[in-house]
Amino acid sequence: MRIVDGDVSLRAKWGFWLLALAAFLLAAIPSAVILDTARDYYRFVTGWQPGTLRQLRVRHVPLQDSLDRQPPPDIRFVEFTLAAPKARAVILTASFNHWKPGLYPMARKGRFWRLIVPLPPGKYEYAFEVDGAWKPDPKAPEKSVVNGREVSILHVF
């Protein structure tokens, strides 16, 4: 058996280039699909190109709309005011916001701090945080104690 030097190198070159092409295709095709998908997503998020919407499948249609069964709750707009002319910040904390501070900052109007909150009828406990200090409403006739702090009681009818 005689091996020609040029024949081996030619086969080796073809084998190398075929292997390199196969490796390139294995890496390039999925990468191109991923890059194309990422480009479409970026355009959709930034608003450059509208995305395609899939058809919605409805599995269950109720016989009666749930909003028709009971009327929506009656909402009252309740105004909270506090006279605190020297205060820098006043925040309303109450049972209707789970006593979380910072959710209802009040606006200054002259020497009064004011906030209007929509509430359904019910009994609510509330207090003011005046520059970080807890203070019940001095105008409220009814008071209570919650978590060791004095609070005011509001009845919304």
Domain range for 15 is 1-51
> Do 31 and 91 fall into the same domain?
no
Task: Give the pLDDT of residue 113.
Answer: 94
What are 93-146's pLDDT values in tens digits? 999 988 988 889 999 999 999 999 999 999 999 999 999 999 999 999 999 999
- Residues 6 or more apart whose Cβ sits within 8 Å of residue 138: 82
Percentage of the chain modeled with pLDDT above 90: 48
Question: What span, in angstroms and rounded, lies between the C-alpha atoms of 16 and 33?
Answer: 26
Structure token digits, residue 38? 């990422």
Span 11-33, pLDDT tens digits: 888 889 999 998 888 777 777 77
Residue 47 in any domain: the answer is yes
Asked whether residue 58 is domain-assigned, the answer is no
DSSP string, 14-48: HHHHHHHHHHHHHHHHHHHHHHHHHHHHHHHHHTS
Question: 17 with 81, same domain?
Answer: no
Return the beta strands (E) in 34-135 as ranges.
76-83, 90-94, 104-105, 107-109, 112-119, 122-130, 133-135
56 in a structural domain: no
Same domain, 104 and 151: yes
Do both 4 and 74 map to the same domain?
A: no
pTM of the entire structure? 0.55
Asked if residue 126 is part of any domain, the answer here is yes
Q: What is the pLDDT of residues 42-89, one digit of tens each?
A: 877 776 655 555 555 656 555 556 555 666 678 899 999 999 999 999
